[in-house]
Structure 1
Amino acid sequence: MDASPEAPEAPGAAEPGTDALLGAADIRELAEALGVRPTKQRGQNFVIDANTVRRIVRGADVRADDSVVEIGPGLGSLTLGLLETAEHVTAIEIDDQLAAGLPATVEARLPHRARHFTLVHADALRVTPEDLGERRPTALVANLPYNVAVPVLLHMLATFPSIERTLVMVQSEVADRLAAAPGSKVYGVPSVKAAWYCEVKRAGAIGRNVFWPAPNVDSGLVSLVRRAEPLRTEASREEVFAVVDAAFAQRRKTLRAALAGWAGSAALAEEALTAAGISPKARGEALTVEQFAAIAAHKPRA
């Protein structure tokens, strides 16, 4: 975990009796005070609507005993909403300026909850359980940067098996892919890999006008609930994911052809498919995660 830069004082502390959540004017004031200019490179679009924050917290089913991890908290819009409900919130932020400002914002807006907040100044794609210390998150709630949404989500689900419930806001197109069912035109690698860990579904749409700056695309909410029991398979996650990657690398081809490199030859791929009870003429877009696991379990051994 990187050492956090020295935090400046946060402007605009909430007046007694007023809403602690951030509005459009608060967001712009904070950004100006911190010298923050949102960048497309890091997918920075800050939520400026308190009602959207409340909707996300409700949709995530955040509970009073939850330890929530948030990725890319930005200026703190969602962080504050989560802190109002959860037992503890750990925010993972890679940006130096944003990481510097967030603790002061929490202290200024929700001083009585500040001790329930932890900042981890790190890259979410590389964060480890050691970065979070003894705390194990039970929920993941985040407005994920569009450019790294899927890899970050899959990394967190793999790294923190304690995460039971997840609600993420992503680009609408990505939301569709994550929640797609077999047979759908947008069903692919993200759909299958997310289904390995969780039951996945779309949880709503988010308009562009609740962000600053407004993105050029619509957003969607995706709910992921950890499987009560891990998928039963003789193959490891890595072995199953290797089949998934191979199948969708050439998604227009039959599995017999698409898996030839993975198996060693088209004939060996057909042998594995037949043993798994799957037609060699099928395509990856038609298979469930359980069927991919069955193929992986029947890979011919050298």
Structure 2
Amino acid sequence: MDPHHHLWPDSPTSFAAVPGERNANATPYSVQDLRADTGSGHNVVATVFVECSTNYYTEGPQHLRPVGETDWVASQSVSDGLLSGIVGYANLMGEPSEIAETLDAHTGAGNGIFKGVRHTVAWDANPGVFTSIRRPPSGLLLDSIFRRGASELARRGLVYETWTYFHQLPELCDFARSHPSLVVVLNHLGGPAATGPYAQQRNEVLEEWRAGIKSLARVPNVVMKLGGIGMPAFTPVEFIESTPMTSTRVADYWGLQIRYCIETLSPERCMFESNFPVDRRLCDYATLWNAFKLIAAPYSIAERESLFAGTARRTYGIGR
């Protein structure tokens, strides 16, 4: 199962998260492209789409416009069940009534497969550090208004999804403890940064990151996605652009860190993600999953079942 991918249409007018801006990663990626990738050599039978600021409604109240993305993605789903989940966007800093209305609208538009909301919080004080298109402010996870918004997800049994940088992991722990009934899905290995000043501080970054992962292990409602490794935010550009890129090279570069997450959090709280088409910059889909299989080779059959399918199915409530 692939619990994290995006879809982008051909039209640049479909990108509406920030007026006048388009996500630099947003190269067209259709359901047909997804099918070609998932059918390229691995037995991927279900996927989860994660919000990427596309196909928002262009009319109506601002807080409801992100529902257009869920509406569009649900229309791409067909009876074979490959596209089995949708994680959309809602502004958790909004008024409670608006958040509730947005979540209910997402659920209605999702045709039974809407699973939750991603509101990213990745922030760093250094301007040279890669950030998401929404450029979130610092301290969102500790903000009482944001936490109030997240409680609307918990009331509906929806997941909260995000990505952070490594130094924000203590904030994520505090946030997750404040919402013990909310499943918190952390994307992209918890953000071991590799841009700006961190490009020359890999050992220091990983030391602080490992301490953060240890803290996460004590917060049982947090699960982690193992991926995002094709993003220059986490993998140096010189490695990404070196050739040839083989599954062995990818596994050698990231194996220790990914296995640290698995062994610290447990396979039951970790799931591999493709993050396609963003991670396509590193390698093709088949090569990426071959790398994950090499990394997971030391684990038992039951543990690998969790890493490649079970954790994702439990997290998103997707049946076999």
- Give the TM-score normalised by the residue count of structure 2: 0.33
The structure where strand makes up a greater share of residues is 1
Larger Rg: 1
